[in-house]
C-alpha cells in the first residue's frame, strides 16, 4: 500500500496546551502521533511504500467546500491575535455566540478575539503561527493521494475487464498520513483539532473532475465511511443536502461533539437518506463494533454502488484512548480493515483521530494490514 505523507505534518502546528474537561492539558493532537504511525509503517516495508511527494493543487479544491471568509480568518488569525495581546500558544475563543445569545443589534466580529468565537466551536482547535500552513499541507497531501487513487482505480477496472485481475477481493488501497485531521471542520467553522476538511476536499475533487464522469455525464459516486470515535459533524454538514457523496458514520453515542450524530440526522432535500449515523454505546466490544460496521456496509454502502470509498480513519475507538474510546482492542482493527476490503472498491484512508500514542501505530497498521488481507504483527 502506498502511503502519502509529509514531514511538515510533524514540524508544523504544535500547540503547547488545550483545555480539556475544564482544565489546561497537553495538546493531544500532537506531532508524536504521526511519528508513531510512520515508525510502524517503515518497520513493515513489505506492506507499505512511504512517499513524501506532494503536489500543490492550489486554493480551488479547498474553496469548493470552505467559505472564503473562513479561509481568510484561518490564514490571518494568529498574527492579528498576537497584535491584540493574545497568548502566544495560539488563538482560542473566549466567547462563543451561543444560539440563544440575543444578538439584537446584529453585531459582527471586528477583531481576532471575537472572530475566534465566530469561526471556532471549542477550545481544542488552537491556531498557532503555522496552523494554516499545516492544514493546507494536509489537504494537499490528501489531494495527491486522491489523484493517485484515480490512477490505481483505473488500472484495477481495466484489469477486471481484461481478466488479469482475478476478483474484487483485493481492491487497491492508499493511505494519507496527515495531521491536523479534518472531519470536524465545517464549511466555515473549525473545532475538534480540525481546520480544513481533508476528506471533504478529496470527495468533492473526485466529484468535480470532468474526465471522471460516467457515460451518462454524471459524476463518479463517492462513499465516505467515518470510523472515528467522534461524529464527523464537519463532513456531514458539507454534504447534508446532496446525494453524492454518501456520508456514513459509526461513533460514540452522547460523545463529542455532543450535539450532532443522532440516527435521525439523515440529510435534507436531495440529500435525504444519504447521511447515515450509527451511534454506539461506550460499552461497544470488538465483536459488536465489527458487526455494526458490517451491517452498515451491507445495508447502505453496497446498495449505494459507489465508485470510490474514502475512510475517515480514526482509532480513538481504542479502549485505552485518553480522550475517547469504546471497549475495542487492538485485535479488532485488522477485522475492521478486512470488512472494508470486502466492499471491493478502490479505497483511500485518511488519518483522523487516535490519541493513545503507544498503540497508535499498531492500531492504524492493523486496519491497513486487514485491508491488505494480512494480520497486523
Is a pLDDT exceeding 90 seen at residue 57? yes
**Do 99 and 86 reside in the same domain of the chain?**
yes
Considering the domain architecture, whether residues 164 and 253 belong to the same structural domain is answered as yes
Catalytic residue among 184, 230, 231, 251: 184
Residues 133, 79 share a domain: no
Assess whether 114 and 260 both reside in one domain. Answer: no
Examine residue 21 and state whether it is found in any structural domain, yes or no.
Answer: no
Buried-state track 131-145, b at ≥16 Cβ within 10 A, e below 16:
bbebbbbbbbbbbbb
Phi, then psi, of 91 in degrees rounded to 5: -75, 125
Q: What is the distance between the alpha carbons of residues 54 and 7, in angstroms, rounded to a whole number?
A: 11
Tell me if 314 is assigned to some domain.
Answer: yes
Q: Are residues 272 and 351 in the same domain?
A: yes
Whose grid coordinates read 471522471? 212
Show the cell assigned to 164.
488479469
**What is the number of structural domains in the chain?**
2
- Say which residue the cell 506531532 belongs to: 31
189 falls within a domain: yes
Helices first, then strands: H and E counts in the chain: 12, 10
Q: Look up residue 24 and give its three cell numbers.
A: 489546561
Inside any domain, residue 184: yes
Position 377 scores a pLDDT of 46
Please give the pLDDT value at position 165: 67
Domain membership of residue 111 as a residue range: 69-119
Cell of 158: 481495466
CB 54 within 8 A of CB 6: yes
User: Are residues 39 and 151 part of one domain?
Assistant: yes
26-35, 206-215, 229-238, 333-342: the lowest-pLDDT one: 206-215
56 and 76 co-located in one domain = no
Is the Cβ–Cβ distance between 235 and 197 less than 8 Å?
yes
Q: Which of 14-28, 57-71, 123-137, 242-256 has the lowest mean pLDDT?
A: 14-28
pLDDT tens-place string over residues 196-205: 999 999 999 9
* Number of Cβ atoms within 10 Å of the Cβ of 65: 25
In a domain, 218, yes or no: yes
- 54 lies in the same domain as 73: no
**CATH code of the domain containing 38:** 3.40.800.20
19 assigned to some structural domain:
no
**How far, in Å, CA of 155 to CA of 220, rounded?**
16
In angstroms, what CA-CA distances link 153 with 46, 120, 236?
22, 37, 25
Q: What is the Rg, in whole angstroms, of the alpha carbon atoms belonging to the chain?
A: 20
Q: Are residues 79 and 217 in the same domain?
A: no
CA 249, CA 226: separation in Å to the nearest integer? 5
| 63 and 83 housed in the same domain | no
Which of 119, 152, 181 finishes a domain? Answer: 119
Residue 160 lies inside a defined structural domain of this protein: yes
- Cβ neighbours of 16 (radius 10 Å): 13
Last residue of a domain, one of 119, 152, 185: 119
Shared domain for 219 and 329, answered yes or no, is yes
pTM: 0.96
Residue 38 has pLDDT above 60, yes or no: yes
Q: How large a percentage of the chain has pLDDT more than 90?
A: 82
329: DSSP letter? -
pLDDT in the model for residue 102: 66
Which grid coordinates belong to 29?
Answer: 493532537
Q: Is residue 257 part of a domain?
A: yes
Active site (annotated) includes residue 183: no
Task: Say whether both 213 and 109 belong to one domain.
Answer: no
Q: Which of 325, 316, 309 is nearest to 363 (CA)?
A: 316
| Long-range pairs for 297-305: beta carbons < 8 A, 24 or more residues apart | 297/225, 297/339, 297/340, 297/342, 297/343, 300/246, 300/248, 300/276, 301/223, 301/225, 301/246, 301/248, 301/343, 302/343, 304/221, 304/223, 304/246, 305/221
22: left (phi > 0), else alpha (psi -120 to 50), else beta?
left
- Average the pLDDT over 239-262 and give the result: 97
| Average confidence score pLDDT of the chain | 94
Distance between CA atoms of 47 and 246, rounded to whole angstroms?
Answer: 30
Query: Per-residue confidence at 103, pLDDT binned at 50, 70, 90?
Result: low
Q: Which helix (H) or strand (E) holds 131?
A: helix 131-162
Amino acid at each position: 500500500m502506498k502511503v502519502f505523507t509529509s514531514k511538515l505534518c510533524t514540524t508544523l502546528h504544535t500547540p503547547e496546551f488545550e483545555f480539556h474537561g475544564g482544565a489546561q492539558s497537553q495538546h493531544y493532537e500532537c506531532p508524536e502521533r504521526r511519528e508513531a504511525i510512520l515508525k510502524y509503517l517503515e518497520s513493515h516495508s513489505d506492506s507499505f511504500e512511504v512517499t513524501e511527494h506532494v503536489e500543490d493543487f492550489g486554493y480551488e479544491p479547498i474553496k469548493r467546500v470552505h467559505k472564503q471568509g473562513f479561509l481568510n480568518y484561518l490564514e490571518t488569525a494568529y498574527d492579528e491575535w498576537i497584535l491584540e495581546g493574545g497568548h502566544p500558544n495560539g488563538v482560542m475563543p473566549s466567547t462563543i455566540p451561543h444560539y440563544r445569545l440575543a444578538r439584537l443589534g446584529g453585531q459582527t466580529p471586528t477583531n481576532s478575539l471575537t472572530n475566534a468565537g465566530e469561526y471556532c466551536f471549542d477550545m481544542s482547535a488552537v491556531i498557532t503561527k503555522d496552523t494554516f500552513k499545516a492544514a493546507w499541507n494536509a489537504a494537499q497531501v490528501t489531494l495527491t493521494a486522491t489523484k493517485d487513487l484515480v490512477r490505481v482505480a483505473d488500472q484495477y477496472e481495466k484489469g477486471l475487464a481484461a481478466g488479469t485481475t482475478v476478483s474484487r477481493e483485493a481492491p487497491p488501497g492508499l493511505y494519507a498520513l496527515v495531521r491536523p485531521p479534518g472531519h470536524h471542520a465545517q464549511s466555515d467553522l473549525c473545532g475538534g483539532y480540525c481546520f480544513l476538511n481533508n476528506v471533504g476536499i478529496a470527495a468533492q475533487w473526485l466529484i468535480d473532475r470532468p474526465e471522471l464522469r460516467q457515460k451518462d455525464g454524471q459524476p463518479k459516486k463517492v462513499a465516505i465511511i467515518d470510523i472515528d470515535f467522534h461524529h464527523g459533524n464537519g463532513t456531514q454538514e458539507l454534504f447534508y443536502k446532496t446525494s453524492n457523496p454518501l456520508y456514513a458514520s459509526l461513533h460514540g453515542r452522547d460523545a463529542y461533539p455532543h450535539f450532532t450524530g443522532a440516527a435521525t440526522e439523515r440529510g435534507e432535500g436531495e440529500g435525504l437518506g444519504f447521511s447515515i449515523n450509527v451511534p454506539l454505546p461506550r460499552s461497544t466490544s470488538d465483536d459488536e463494533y465489527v458487526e455494526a460496521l458490517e451491517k452498515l456496509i451491507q445495508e447502505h454502502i453496497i446498495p449505494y454502488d459507489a465508485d470510490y470509498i474514502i475512510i475517515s480513519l480514526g482509532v480513538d475507538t481504542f479502549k485505552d484512548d485518553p480522550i475517547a474510546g469504546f471497549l475495542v482492542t487492538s485485535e479488532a482493527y485488522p477485522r475492521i480493515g478486512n470488512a472494508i476490503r470486502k466492499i471491493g472498491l478502490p479505497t483511500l484512508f485518511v488519518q483522523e483521530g487516535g490519541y493513545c500514542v503507544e498503540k497508535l501505530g499498531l492500531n492504524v497498521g492493523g486496519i491497513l494490514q486487514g485491508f491488505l488481507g494480512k494480520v497486523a504483527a
